[in-house]
Amino acid sequence: MKGYSITTLNEFIIRRQANIPYAKGELSRLLHHIGIAAKVVNKKVNKAGLVDVLGEAGNINVQGESQQKLDVFADMQFTAALSDSGECCGIASEENQEIITFDDDLSKDGKYIVCMDPLDGSSNIDVNVSIGTIFSIYRRISPRGDKAQLIDFLQEGNKQIAAGYIIYGSSTMLVYTTGQGVNGFTLDPSIGEFCLSHPNIKTPETGSIYSLNEGNYLKFPEGVKKYVNYCKEEDKSTKRPYSLRYIGSLVADFHRNLLKGGIFIYPETASSPKGKLRLIYECNPIAWIAEQAGGKASDGKNRILDIKPETLHQRTPFYTGAHGMVEKVESFI
Ligand code: AHG
Ligand code: MN
Ligand code: MN
C-alpha cells in the first residue's frame, strides 16, 4: 500500500527560500511563526461557541486573568508570535491605534515589519460563520538596530514582501504569496499541519458572483448603482443575472470569489466617503493576492497597490476580484 505524500507549509516555505539567492531564512522564520499563531487562534475559534455555552466567558478565568474577546485574543497571539520570531521589529494592527515596536536587541535588528487585521469579520464570530486573519509583510526602511518607525508602515502595497490570510471556516486554510503566485494550505487537524492543497491558485478571468452590502444601495455612488443593476440584468452570454453572495467577512467573501470567480465591492458611500476597509492591513494584502492570482484590485479608479498611505488606519473604497469584472465596474464609475 502506498502512503499519500504531503507538502507541509514549513517544507514549502523552505523549498521556496532555496529558489531565492542569498535568502538567509529570515522571512521563512517569520512565516513559520505566523503559521503557529494561526493554529493557536484556530483552536480558540473552534471553541468559541462552547465557551459561551459553558459560561466560561465571564470576566475572570481560573488563572485570575480576565478573558479576552476573540479579536483581542487573536491580536495578542499574533503579536506574541511575531515578537518571538525575532525577525520583526514592529507591527501595525487594527486593534491598536499606534504602531507597536519590539525593542529587544534581536527584534530591533529584524528586517521586517508586519501589518495585520488579527480577526476579520468579528460580527460573524457569535453565529459560527467564517472569519479570518489578514497579514502583510514589508522590509523596513529605518535602519536595522533602531526602533521601528511610522515610515516603515506607510509604504505602498507594491513594496510588500509577503501577504496572506487565514480563513477559519468549515476547514481552516492559510493562503499566501511572496510574489511568485498564490498557494493555499489546508490545516489537517489530525496532524496539526497546514498542508499544500491549492497550489498556484488562479482566479477565473470573469465570474458570476457579486458581493457587496446591497443594503447600502441608496448611499452608493451612481456608477456602483448602475453596476449592481447590470449584475441583475438577464443576458445568457455573460451568465447574468449574477448571484449575490455576501458573508460580511472580507476574507471569506474574497476567498470564495478567488476560487469561483467573482467581484467583491466595498464602495465609498454618502456616510463614509472613503469606504470602510483599511488600506494597509485589509486592502493591500488582499489586492496583492488578487493580482498574483490573475485578478485585479482598485479603488474604483486607481490600482490599490500604488496608493501611498498617509495614515496607519486610512480607509479606501475597494473593488477586487476577477479582472474582467473589476474592469467592468470601473467603466461604470
Ligand atoms: P473587521 O471585523 O476586521 O472589523 O472587518 C469587518 C469588515 C470586513 O470583513 C467586511 O467585508 C466588512 O467589514 C463588512 O461590512 P458591512 O457590515 O458594512 O457590510
Ligand atoms: Mn477586517
Ligand atoms: Mn478585525
Instruction: CATH number of the domain at 225, please.
Output: 3.40.190.80
Provide the percentage of residues in the chain whose pLDDT is more than 90.
Answer: 83
Q: Is residue 3 part of a domain?
A: no
Domain that holds residue 118: 9-198
Residue 52 lies in a domain: yes
Question: Is pLDDT above 90 for 52?
Answer: no
Strand-pairing partners, residue 139, are: 112
Domain boundary among 167, 198, 229: 198
Domain for residue 69, yes or no? Answer: yes
Q: What is the total residue count of the chain?
A: 333
Q: Mark the residues whose beta carbon lies below 5 A from ion ligand 3.
A: 94, 117, 119-120
Distance CA 89, CA 328 (A): 41
What is the SS3 assignment for 200? Answer: coil
Determine the distance separating the centroid of ligand 3 and the alpha carbon of 117, expressed in angstroms: 5
Q: Is 207 helix (H, G, I), strand (E, B) or coil?
A: coil
Residue 67: pLDDT band (50, 70, 90) is low
Confidence bin at 53 (pLDDT 50/70/90): low
Nearest atom, ligand 1, residue 251 CA: 9
Q: Indicate whether 96 and 244 sit together in one domain.
A: no
Q: What is the mean pLDDT of residues 300-319?
A: 98
51 and 21 in one domain? yes
Same domain membership, residue 156 and residue 185: yes
Q: How many percent of the chain have pLDDT more than 70?
A: 95
| Residues sharing a CB contact under 8 Å with residue 198, sequence separation 6 or more, in sequence order | 173, 175, 183, 184, 185, 186, 259
Determine contact, residues 220/227, Cβ cutoff 8 Å: no
Q: Give pLDDT tens digits for 76-87.
A: 999 999 999 999
CATH number, domain of 161, equals 3.30.540.10
**pLDDT, mean over the chain:** 93
Ligand 1 site residues (CB inside 6 A) read 94, 117, 120-122, 213, 248-250, 266, 276
Domain count, the chain: 2
Is residue 2 a part of any domain in this protein? Answer: no
Whole-number pLDDT of residue 60: 54
In a domain, 267, yes or no: yes
pLDDT band at 59 (very low <50, low <70, confident <90, very high): low
Q: How far is the centre of ligand 2, averaged over its atoms, from the C-alpha of 177 (Å)?
A: 19
Q: Based on the fold, state whether residues 171 and 104 are members of the same structural domain.
A: yes
Residue 49 CA to ligand 1 centre (angstroms): 21
What are the grid coordinates assigned to 189, written together?
A: 487537524
In a shared domain, residues 112 and 256: no
The confidence band for 58, taking pLDDT boundaries of 50, 70 and 90, is low
Predicted confidence (pLDDT) per residue in 173-185, tens digit: 999 999 999 999 9
Helix axes 26-53, 9-18, angle to 10 degrees: 160
